Amino acid sequence: MRDQSELEQIIGYSFRDASLLTLALSHRSVDGANNERLEFLGDSVLGLIITNHIFKNSKNVDEGDLSKLRSAVVCGKALAGVATKLSLGNYLILGTGERKSGGYLRESILGDTVEALIGAIFLDSNIEITDKCIMEWFNPLIRDALSRKNKKDSKTRLQEWLQKRGHAPPIYTLSSTEGSPHSKIFFIECVLDEFEITGRDKASSRKAAEQLVASKILKELGV
């Protein structure tokens, strides 16, 4: 078994009770105690901390999108990615069969071990320290998930926002054009009667003008 003090340096936390770290790394394929109970605890702690962080930093995001953001951060693939960055595979304690079959590379085992490690840190310290560790490990995933969400174009975001609330999709109207056939400017208007909002803008293409109008309406809605 490798020196676990090396792993403590990698994860940024030193255990007061070293047996908790050993237990967190012990897969159910080994004889004796394993990390399944710690995994159960860590799963709940991780969910709470990630949910709290996303909730506080994603204002005007509805419940459905909050759930999608959380799922993107705590899914098996994401957890396994965190485990890889922390080099957990090098420190896993596996039964002989599991070790020979390459269990230290298996995504499910790596992800479960991250959750067990979180549970162990929580028991060894408190929620504040556990929060700090989780944020250090998961912040890149959170930023990536938020970035992907924000990359949706304005028309798509507006339509999804309206449909989720039972409203009809927006209709964009070409109110006028200016310029020669080769350098036209398109003036687009969109009216949302139920919100008493009218968005207007112009651009060198109809599609671009519609995006600008949708962006203005989103701002008016506070989305």
17 Cβ neighbours under 8 A, 6+ residues apart: 123, 124
Q: Is 220 left (phi over 0), alpha (psi -120 to 50) or beta?
A: alpha
Question: 108-135: per-residue pLDDT in tens?
Answer: 999 999 999 999 999 999 999 999 999 9
What does the block give as tokens for 157?
Answer: 């975001």
Mean of all residue pLDDT scores within the chain: 91
**């930023």: which residue's tokens?**
143
Instruction: Please report the domains of the chain, with CATH numbers, ordered by start residue.
Output: 4-150 (1.10.1520.10), 154-221 (3.30.160.20)
Strands, sheet with 185-192, edge to edge from the N-terminal-most edge strand: 172-178, 185-192, 197-203
Element (H, E) at 89: none
Q: How far apart are the first and last CA of the chain?
A: 52
* 3-state SS class at 86: coil
Predicted local confidence at residue 151, as pLDDT: 60
Strand partners, 187: 176, 202
Q: Tell me which residues are annotated as active site.
A: 43, 115
DSSP state of 143: H
pLDDT tens digits, residue range 27-78? 999 988 999 999 999 999 999 999 999 888 877 677 777 888 899 899 999 9
